[in-house]
Amino acid sequence: MAIKSIDGCIGCGECVKSCPTDVIRLDPKTKKAVITYPEDCQICHLCRMNCPVDAITIDPTKSIPVVVSWG
């Protein structure tokens, strides 16, 4: 899941710029933020913290299998 949904976006682009891993893009037509590459989300919440209208919901689970050192 990682970054999960964007509701109430005003299209300011802050989240796009503040995401280190380029997960979010503005839709060229609607000018709204779209979760474009969720598999690269590192669940750091910078986008959410930067959104002026608090539109972003993030889930702690990753959208692709996770590789760790032991399990």
Partner 1 sequence: MSENEKKGLSRRQFLGLATGVVGAAALTGLGMKIRWNTKEREIDLDTFTSEETGTDVLVIGGGMAGLFASVKAHDAGAKVHLVSKGRLGSSGQTPFAKGIFVYDEKTASVTLDEFTDLVSKSAINTNNPVYTRQMAIHSKERVNELRDWGFFESPLYHKAFSKPINERNIPVSERIMITHLIKENGRIAGAAGFSIDEAKIHIFKAKSVILCTGAGGFKPNGFPICDLTHDGSIMAYKIGAKITGKEWNDGHSGSQDNPAACYDGWHGMFDRTPSVNGVEVHHDLGMDANYSAYILGNPVSSGPGSQMVEGGPYVPDGFTREMEEMGPPAIDGDQKGPKGPPPGDEDGRGAPPQNNDEGGAPPGMASAASGGASAGMAIHKSEGIVPINEKGESNIPGLYAAGDALGSHMAGGIYTQVGSSLAGSAVQGAIAAEAAAEYVKTVSLQSIPSSSVSAIKEEILAPLKRESGYTPAWVTQTLQGIMIPNFVLYIKKENLMKAALAYIEELRDHHMPMLRASNLHELRLAHETGNMIISAEMKLRASLMRTESRCSHYRLDYPDVDYDNWQAWINIYKGSDGQMKLEKQAFDAWPAQ
Partner 2 sequence: METRNKRPYLLIGVAVYLLIPLIYLLLADFPERTVLKNAISFLTLGAYFLMLGQFYLTRINKVTLQGNKFSSVIKKHKIIGYIFIPILILHPFLIVVPRFFESGVDPSDALKTILTTYTSSGLIVGMVAMILMICLGITSMFRAKLRLPYRTWRITHGILSILFVITATWHAIDLGRHTDIVLSIYMILLAATGIFFLLKLYIMNPQNKGGRK
Please report whether residue 40 would count as binding partner 1 according to CB under 8 A. Answer: yes
Between CA 28 and CA 42 the distance in angstroms is 24
Report the residue count for the chain: 71
Q: From residue 12, how far is each of 15, 25, 31, 48, 65 by CA, in Å?
A: 8, 11, 8, 13, 32
Binder among 1, 4, 12, 34 for ligand SF4 (CB under 6 A): 12
Please report whether residue 45 would count as binding ligand SF4 according to CB under 6 A. Answer: yes
Binder among 2, 6, 33, 35 for partner 1 (CB under 8 A): 2
**Binding-site ranges for partner 2 (CB under 8 A):** 4-5, 7-14, 30-32, 48-55, 57
